[in-house]
């Protein structure tokens, strides 16, 4: 940063440059002060002293920086044009200093700092001031980077940078490795993963820069990369059971890894381990020589090494397969086969000096029994004799101290049988049908089978048999022979012989109806049972194939077919012989009804319509038009009455099934004449309105009808001279109705139309399209009513906190918009409200305004809602004393809304009214009176009591 200081009025000008980094910005002040000390207010020429007129100060300026940083010294110079001389003073807050140069070093942060320089002419006393506002910054300092202590290969890590800055800092990151920049980023935090797996450490540099002063500070942080890869196991591959082997796990790991081995459910630690190769499983207990249990042995065992990075926790693993060689085996003592019922021995071979031998069958210890015997050293196990149940996997477990070694497996399959010879197949045969029989027996190895029946024989476990000659029964024999044991056993089966299915029947409706399901049932005599199949066809086309004794037929998609065949086939489940029967049916179909003819018609014209349908075998047709019924598929129709749209319906009925379908066309009656309003304005009660009778031709006569009654002129209703226009001077609600004009054209004749009240003389009458007039009116008679009650009136009394159902009613067409107001504030826009008074005040205005959006008129109703109050402040007014024989008047008053009644108690009796007269006729010293005020709406009461003294001025006391 370069600071330029200009000294005015000096014999020389100095330019002082100071190179300032982000920690200092000092200006050498001594040189500046030395220059100022040489300043002169006048000059002397060759002719002597020359005087000048005093001027200034003017052109007052402050030279210096615009941004200052807390803790760094700065210098500012104030200059001005003055004669004969100027005096300078600085003001900064409450601090004032003298001289043209100000030294400034802020110790605390603040939004801004304002400097004021005041220059005074030493001769004239004139002064001028100038201000300079400085932007204040602080820092940056205290920079630091926070984040994880290591990087993980393939995983993003997040770091954040912080520093002390005023007003704020911006941050820039650089990530590098071995001096090579990998990436850059801006912001307080950065998230990144290591550049590649070969990188062992990366360096982060954060630069914090003050956003105003642009001073900066930086810091760096180096983090190692935790990685693990390339795992392998040094293994011999093949191991012998009973020996111990060393294994080494190699892995590329930084900075270090821990190792875990897993072998046959056991865990070992370290990158190198020694593992004894034993049988799978642990010895559980030895209560006796036979009480030992072992798990299944596998030839292939898996050895797994897991390497876990000590910093990142990431892990990888590898597995090798160890082929285990078994040094001990079990074998038979002879070449003879194991045959049930004969003696057989097994021997444990391979052990040198066994401490003990335990025999296992199917992994369970074998104990001596009546048929199982052991030699004294347990080396040999003898079966005498063999049983079929002796099938199984045999092993011997040899203990040579430690470890215990489990032998290979000897799978013994005992040769036995035959036994349990069984023939499977039908018990009843049908002549001419082929049947299959099967013979089975319990044998090992598999038995050989021979069949015989009559004088015939056949080998094999299965026999395909077909009988051609009728006979009552047939004996079938199967002989099973074990080729190893040379033993045979026979089984026999007696077959009953029959001849095919009979007596088939198909039951169902006499015809089919398209679109309606029809059910059919098939039955037949079969042995032992029948399978039923169906074929529904028509016109040499198969429509439906189904299985089962019943079938549902729906031919809605084939309504054009004429004759349908429903055929049932009954087939025996064993012989597969079958018998058939069918029904020939007519298909009653009805679809695609259509009406042909004009849809636009005119009054007085004749039209022909035809009704058609896809119908089998035939259909009857019925027409319906304007309440009348016509028969036949053709209808000649003359339109004699006007209706804008009138439906014409044709019904087709199938003569066989009696099912029906209908079709309808809407006949639009066209007419060249119509009635319309003369303007776009809606018809409003009290306002004028006009209707026009319009058409393409000039009519001979026009008659106006309202609701089919002839209209006559009146004071309020006038017709134009040609009757094409009817005008209402003002509308009333009773003008609602259907307006039409009856137009007569052509030659003269008389037509009586019973649908009209008017009789027209002339040519052909045409009744125009009607205009339905609905007179808009209101609002009229706007009222506020309680639900199912009369209007509320000018005042509505309600109990405190109670809710009253209110309705704003008005006579309007169309319906009016309702707005409720309470105490001058909008309450609701619904016609009905549930009103609850607001307390206080005890009396407030409630109003509803009805607005008709068509007529533009408004109406309102208002009531005053009063909440009953009181009685309070019950006061008895009258004299304080009574005289005997003198009548005195008393008044009872109370604050009460809406009103109160008053009841007096005197002499033990009561009187009513707000005013009473009292006359005392007895000698007493005092009389007591009370007044009770009762609210006429709520029934609440309050009482006032008075005691009056009584005197007798005429009493002498004797």
Lowest-pLDDT choice from 11-15, 272-276, 408-412: 11-15
720 Cβ contact list (under 8 Å, min separation 6): 726, 727
727, pLDDT greater than 80: yes
Q: Calculate mean pLDDT across residues 395-422.
A: 83
pLDDT score for 255: 80
Domain shared by 212 and 255, yes or no: no
213 and 236 belong to one structural domain: no
The β-bridge partners of 478 are 451, 491
Residues 759, 740, single domain; the answer is: yes
How far apart (Å, rounded) are the C-alpha atoms in residues 31 and 262?
A: 84
642 assigned to some structural domain:
no
Question: Which pLDDT score is estimated for 401?
Answer: 64
Q: For residue 536, what are its two tokens?
A: 């529904």
pLDDT of residue 10: 32
The answer to whether the beta carbons of residues 111 and 127 sit under 8 Å apart is no
pLDDT, position 840: 64
Answer whether residue 555 shows pLDDT above 70.
yes
Burial pattern 28-53, b for ≥16 Cβ within 10 A else e, equals: eeeebeebbeeeeeeeeeeeeeeeee
192 within a domain of the structure (yes/no): yes
* Residue 240, both tokens: 């012998």
Residue 199 is assigned to a structural domain of this protein = yes
In a domain, 361, yes or no: yes
The Cα-based distances of 757 to 691, 713, 742, 847 in angstroms read 21, 17, 12, 49
Task: Let me know whether 305 and 357 are in one domain.
Answer: no
Q: What's the pLDDT at 292?
A: 29
* End position of a domain, from candidates 114, 138, 162: 138
For the record, the structure tokens of 544 come out as 């439906």
pLDDT of residue 904: 93
| pLDDT grade for 44, boundaries at 50, 70 and 90 | very low
- Are 315 and 334 members of one domain? no
- Tell me the pLDDT tens digit for each residue of 515-539: 788 899 999 888 778 899 999 888 7
Choose the final residue of a domain: 562, 585, 608. 585
Same domain, 880 and 944: yes
Task: Say what the pLDDT of residue 623 is.
Answer: 93
Apex CA 557: angle with CA 551 and CA 561, to 5°? 85
In a domain? residue 5: no
Average pLDDT of the segment spanning 173-189: 90
Domain boundary residue among 526, 560, 585? 585
Quick check: is 611 in a domain?
no
Q: What was the pLDDT predicted at 789? A: 80
- Buried-state track 7-22, b at ≥16 Cβ within 10 A, e below 16: bbbbeeeeebeeebeb
Mean pLDDT over all residues of the chain? Answer: 82
Higher pLDDT, 61 or 880: 61
Q: Domain containing 835: what range?
A: 777-866
Query: Are residues 118 and 33 part of one domain?
Result: yes
- Least-confidence region, from 77-81, 374-378, 590-594, 839-843: 839-843
Same domain for 683 and 782: no
- Kindly state whether residue 796 falls inside one of the protein's structural domains: yes
Examine the domain organization and report whether 265 and 171 are in the same domain: no
Residue 173 confidence (pLDDT) above 80 = yes
> Which CATH number goes with the domain that contains 354?
2.60.40.10
Evaluate if pTM is beyond 0.75: no
Q: Which of 42-56, 149-163, 253-267, 680-694 has the lowest mean pLDDT?
A: 42-56
Residue length of the chain: 958
- Phi/psi class of residue 188: alpha, beta or left (left: φ > 0; alpha: ψ in -120 to 50)? alpha
Q: Structurally, how many domains does the chain consist of?
A: 9
Q: Is residue 719 part of a domain?
A: yes
Pairing of strands 674-677, 55-63: unpaired
**Residue 603 pLDDT grade (very low, low, confident, very high; cuts 50, 70, 90):** low
């Amino acid at each position: 940063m370069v600071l330029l200081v200009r000294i005015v009025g000096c014999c020389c000008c100095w330019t002082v440059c100071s190179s300032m980094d982000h920690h200092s910005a000092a200006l050498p002040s001594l040189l500046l002060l030395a220059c100022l000390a040489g300043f002169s207010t006048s000059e002397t020429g060759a002719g002597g002293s020359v005087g000048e007129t005093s001027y200034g100060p003017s052109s007052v300026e402050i030279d210096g920086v615009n941004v200052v940083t807390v803790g760094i010294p700065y210098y500012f110079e104030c200059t001005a044009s003055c004669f004969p001389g100027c005096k300078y003073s600085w003001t900064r807050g409450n601090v004032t200093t003298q001289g043209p140069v100000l030294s400034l070093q802020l110790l605390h942060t603040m939004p801004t700092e304002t400097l004021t320089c005041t220059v005074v002419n030493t001769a004239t006393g004139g002064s001028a001031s100038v201000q300079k506002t400085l932007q204040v910054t602080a820092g940056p300092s205290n920079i630091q980077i926070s984040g994880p202590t290591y990087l993980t290969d393939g995983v993003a890590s997040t770091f954040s940078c912080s520093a002390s800055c005023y007003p704020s800092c911006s941050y820039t990151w650089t990530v590098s490795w071995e001096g090579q920049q990998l990436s850059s980023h801006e912001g307080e935090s950065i998230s990144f993963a290591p550049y590649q797996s070969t990188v062992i450490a990366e360096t982060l540099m954060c630069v914090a820069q003050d956003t105003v002063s642009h001073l900066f500070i930086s810091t760096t942080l180096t983090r190692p990369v935790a990685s693990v890869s390339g795992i392998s196991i040094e293994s011999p591959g093949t191991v012998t059971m009973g020996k111990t082997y060393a294994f080494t796990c190699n892995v590329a790991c930084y900075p270090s890894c821990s190792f875990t081995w897993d072998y046959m459910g056991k865990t070992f630690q370290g990158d190198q381990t020694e593992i004894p190769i034993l049988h799978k499983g642990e010895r559980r207990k030895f209560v006796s020589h036979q009480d030992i249990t072992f798990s299944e042995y596998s030839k292939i065992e898996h050895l797994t090494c897991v390497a876990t990075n000590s910093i990142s926790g990431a892990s990888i693993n590898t597995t090798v397969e160890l082929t285990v060689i078994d040094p001990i085996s079990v074998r038979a003592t002879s070449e003879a086969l194991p045959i049930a019922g004969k003696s057989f021995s097994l021997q444990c071979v391979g052990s040198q000096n066994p401490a003990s031998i335990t025999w296992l069958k199917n992994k369970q210890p074998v104990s001596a029994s009546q048929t199982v015997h052991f030699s004294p050293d347990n080396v040999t196990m003898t079966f005498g004799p063999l049983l079929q149940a002796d099938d199984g996997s045999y092993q011997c477990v040899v203990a040579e101290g430690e470890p215990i070694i489990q032998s290979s497996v000897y799978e013994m399959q005992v040769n036995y049988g035959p036994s349990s010879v069984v023939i499977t197949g039908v018990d009843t045969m049908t002549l001419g049908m082929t049947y299959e029989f099967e013979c089975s027996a319990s044998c090992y190895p598999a038995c050989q089978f021979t069949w015989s029946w009559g004088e015939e024989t056949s080998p094999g476990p299965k026999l395909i048999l077909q009988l051609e000659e009728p006979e009552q029964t047939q004996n079938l024999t199967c002989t099973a022979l074990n080729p190893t044991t040379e033993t045979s056993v026979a089984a026999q089966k007696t077959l009953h012989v029959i001849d095919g299915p009979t007596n088939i029947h198909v039951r169902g409706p006499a015809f089919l109806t398209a679109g309606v399901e029809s059910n059919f049932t098939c039955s037949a005599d079969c042995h032992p049972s029948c399978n039923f199949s169906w074929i529904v066809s028509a016109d040499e086309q198969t429509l439906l194939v189904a299985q089962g004794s019943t079938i549902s037929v729906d031919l809605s998609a084939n309504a054009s077919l004429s004759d349908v065949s429903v055929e049932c086939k009954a087939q025996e489940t064993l012989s597969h012989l079958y018998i058939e029967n069918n029904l020939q049916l007519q298909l009653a179909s009805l679809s695609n009804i259509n009406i042909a003819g004009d849809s636009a018609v005119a009054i007085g014209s004749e039209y022909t319509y035809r009704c058609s349908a896809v119908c089998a075998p035939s259909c009857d047709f019925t027409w319906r038009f304007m309440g009348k019924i016509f028969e036949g598929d053709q209808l000649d129709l003359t339109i004699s009455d006007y209706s804008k749209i009138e439906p014409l319906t044709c019904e087709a009925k199938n003569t066989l099934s009696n099912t029906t379908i209908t079709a309808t066309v809407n006949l639009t009656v066209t007419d060249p004449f119509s009635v319309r309003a003369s303007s776009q304005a809606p018809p409003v009660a009290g306002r004028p309105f006009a209707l026009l009778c319009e058409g393409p031709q000039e009519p001979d006569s026009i008659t106006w009808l309202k609701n089919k009654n002839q209209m006559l002129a009146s004071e309020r209703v006038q017709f134009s001279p040609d009757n094409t226009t009817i005008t209402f001077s003002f509308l009333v609600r009773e003008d609602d109705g259907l307006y039409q004009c009856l137009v007569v054209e052509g030659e003269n004749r008389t037509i009586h139309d019973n649908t009209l009240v008017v009789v027209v003389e002339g040519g052909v009458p045409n009744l125009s399209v009607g205009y339905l007039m609905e007179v808009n009116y209101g609002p009229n008679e706007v009222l506020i009513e309680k639900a199912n009650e009369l209007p509320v009136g000018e005042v509505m009394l309600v109990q405190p906190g109670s809710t009253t159902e209110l309705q704003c009613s008005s006579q309007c067409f169309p319906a009016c918009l309702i707005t409720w107001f309470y105490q001058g504030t909008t309450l609701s826009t619904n016609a009905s409200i549930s009103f609850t008074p607001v307390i206080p005040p005890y009396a407030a205005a409630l109003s509803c305004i009805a607005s008709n959006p068509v007529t533009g008129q408004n109406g309102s109703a208002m009531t005053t809602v009063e909440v009953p109050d009181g009685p309070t402040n019950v006061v008895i007014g009258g004299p304080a004393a009574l005289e005997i024989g003198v009548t005195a008047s008393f008044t009872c008053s109370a604050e009460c809304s809406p009103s109160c009644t008053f009841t007096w108690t005197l002499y033990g009796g009561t009187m009513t009214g707000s005013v009473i007269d009292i006359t005392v006729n007895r000698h007493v010293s005092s009389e007591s009176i009370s007044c009770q005020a009762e609210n006429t709406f709520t029934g609440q009461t309050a009482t006032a009591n008075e005691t009056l003294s009584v005197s007798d001025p005429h009493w002498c006391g004797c």
